[in-house]
Chains A and B, each alone.
Chain A
Amino acid sequence: QKEVEQDPGPLSVPEGAIVSLNCTYSNSAFQYFMWYRQYSRKGPELLMYTYSSGNKEDGRFTAQVDKSSKYISLFIRDSQPSDSATYLCAMSEGNTGFQKLVFGTGTRLLVSP
Chain B
Amino acid sequence: NAGVTQTPKFRILKIGQSMTLQCTQDMNHNYMYWYRQDPGMGLKLIYYSVGAGITDKGEVPNGYNVSRSTTEDFPLRLELAAPSQTSVYFCASSYSRGVREGDGYTFGSGTRLTVV
Contact = CB atoms under 8 A, between A and B. Distances in A.
Interface residues of B, number: 27
Contacts, number: 65
Contact of A96 (B94, B97, B110): B97
Interface residues of A, number: 27
Nearest to A33: B99
Given A43-B90, A43-B109, A51 B41 contact: no
Given A8-B40, A46-B105, A88-B43, A98 B98 contact: yes
Nearest to B59: A99
Nearest to B40: A105
Contacts of A71: none
Contact of A41 (B40, B42, B109): B109
Nearest to B58: A99
Closest 5 CB pairs of A and B: A43-B107, A49-B101, A103-B43, A103-B42, A105-B42
Interface of B: 4, 31, 33, 40-43, 45, 48, 56, 58, 90, 92, 94, 97-101, 103, 105-110, 112
